[in-house]
Amino acid sequence: MPVPVSWPAHATPEEAAAWMNSHFPNTMMGHLQVRVLAISPGHATGEMPVHDGILGIHRAVHLGQHGRPRQGRRAPAPPTGD
């Protein structure tokens, strides 16, 4: 069983990203070669290579969106039931 690790609570966004990149090599992030660039409350930025192995049938990568929309974007309006 893996040993729990402590999150670097007072790190800069770049320091938190470096910590994340060095602590999770055998996870989905590692297998997809995701490299985190910056992490801050409510926001993370990363990059990964795009290749045929991760493209869907329409030649697109779907990463999904969870939680609240990014600043500057509006959430879709809920259905009105009309």
How confident is the model over 58-70, as pLDDT tens digits? 888 876 655 555 5
Q: What is the pTM of this model?
A: 0.58
Q: Does 39 reside within a domain?
A: yes
pLDDT tens across 19-54, in order? 988 888 888 888 888 899 988 888 888 898 988 888
Is the CB of residue 38 less than 8 Å from the CB of residue 44? yes
Q: Does 38 reside within a domain?
A: yes
Q: Does 82 reside within a domain?
A: no
- Based on the number of CB atoms within 10 Å of its own CB, is 54 exposed (0-12), middle (13-18) or buried (19 or more)? middle
Q: What pLDDT band is residue 56 in, cutting at 50, 70 and 90?
A: confident
Q: Does 70 reside within a domain?
A: no
Q: Does 34 reside within a domain?
A: yes
CA distances in angstroms from 80 to 15, 25, 49, listed in the order given: 45, 45, 40
Report residue 43 as tokens.
């926001």
Q: Does 63 reside within a domain?
A: no
Q: Does 41 reside within a domain?
A: yes
SS3 33: coil
Considering its fold, how many domains does the chain have in total?
A: 1
